Amino acid sequence: MTEPTKLWGGRFKAGPSEALVNLSRAPRSYFRLFPEDLTGSRAHANELHRANVLDAAELAEIQLALDAIETDVVHGKEVPGDSDEDIHTFLERLLIARLGALGGKLRAGRSRNDQTANNTRLYLRRMAREITAGLVAIEDALVDQASQHVKTILPGFTHLQPAQPVTLGHHLMAHAQSLLRSIERFRDWDRRFDRSPLGAAALAGSAIARRPDLSALELGYAGACENSIDAVASRDHVAEFLFICAMIGVDLSRLAEEICIWSSKQFGWIRLHDSYSTGSSIMPQKKNPDIAELTRGMSGTMIGNVAGFLATMKAMPLAYNRDLAEDKRTLFETIDILDVVLPAFAGMIATLEFDVARLREEAPKGFTLATEIADWLVSQNIPFAEAHEITGAVVRYCEERGHDLSGLTEADLPAIDGRLKPDMLAAIELDRAVASRTGYGATAPERVGEQIDRFKKALETGREFANSSSAAVATSATPGQRAGGQASW
């Protein structure tokens, strides 16, 4: 191994202590940013050529060396050593080892401050698309299930109490709609932070790299950051990214909670596929919803990462401070969670089997059709306040006699209230009740079908975003190196 590369130390009489080195060294997981760092180096080399720091031959030699380094890192021929403080020192060590003094020229006009800011932005723009692709897979599974159950009826709940009957397709699409908003958040996030920090150097900009606007375009950004201090000091793009991920975790956790409940013996509404559930080491009969439970638990970690990073940022003066390195710890943990959760969740949803007959049997229980009585009374020109009281009396009457609304007969009605007529009984027929909810976005099967059609079109925009190119980052890294695990590292 060549001698370790040091990016600082000329004014120090003594080298760093072992304790400082151990504290300062970046965790191995941080080295996943090597594609972004190499991409930024390529753009910076072009900038140095524009500034006449590199001539054409030197530029070509550096670019070829960077390409070769990338190939060797991807294939495990070059790996970080214990002496490499971070991704910047690792890659500069390799460059100097291959090019000698020429390799050291690349550092002119830039700082680790703008390098790490640029690496993080490029990486997150790429991750926004990869996470979106994972969300789209879950959305596809939800839409497919909803399409099969446009007319399947189940009880809807408020306060975890039976409320009104709804269609299963409508209920599943409610979850799909919430996840779609996170896809839209990623698209909006990408637009807002489509600015390059490269060229900001330490904080004041560079007297050498004076065309960051051109570097920005090379890197796939729409432009350069407006303020060099803000470019290296801000991390709101990290906080917002963490929030979007946490919101995804919360939305998935809510669906996961329902899956845990619905798959229980007490409910028995769904059957989990064997390949997306687990057993017990001591109870052979068990079939556990581990994917749902792990998702529910991991959402707490993602929420904590948002709060923790905001606490890190809250009293930090401008411009760069080493505290900012904590952005990667929280980001990588959150991204690594979603990297394993999303495909497992999509598979679980796609393979769910619903007990349609049982759902229909449960749908009217708990007086879920009581609102139909009140609505029928309103149609008879009775004020809703009075209709509400009459309906309450109907429910009380049934409870006292130990039956649900289905036990009502025509003979019972005048005993409750003279304004109740026999044709009211038709209003509490299950399919009729659901079909009567015909407002835009409501649960009537025809409205649910229309919602699904609109949703599919909206989802295509998310699919296009997931498949779009975020920047000029090399894509030769393996999936494990791109999103988390470091292969042989």
Distance CA 429, CA 369 (A): 8
To the query of whether residue 44 is one of the catalytic residues in this protein, the response is no
Task: Give which of 355, 292, 329 is closest to 138, Cα–Cα.
Answer: 292
Q: How far is residue 371's CA from residue 168's CA, in Å, rounded to a whole number?
A: 19
Q: Which of 159, 275, 281, 488 is catalytic?
A: 159
Full DSSP string of 183-244: HHHHHHHHHHT-EE-TT-TTTT--SS---HHHHHHHTT-SEE-S-HHHHHH--HHHHHHHHH
Exposure string for 110-137, b = 16+ CB within 10 A, e = fewer: bbbbbbbbbbbbbbbbbbbbbbbbbbbb
Structure tokens at 59: 């530029």
In contact, 299 and 245? CB cutoff 8 Å: no
Helix or strand run (H / E) with residue 145? helix 112-148
Q: Do strands 195-196 and 161-167 pair parallel, antiparallel, or not at all (unpaired)?
A: unpaired
The residue with tokens 């052979």 is: 284
Give Cβ neighbours of residue 216 (< 8 Å, ≥ 6 apart).
Answer: 195, 196, 198, 199, 222, 223, 224
Q: Of 24, 264, 280, 406, which residue is the catalytic one?
A: 280
Specify whether 159 is catalytic.
yes
d(CA 292, CA 469): 32
The structure tokens listed for 357 are 């007959």
Q: Catalytic residues, which ones? A: 159, 280
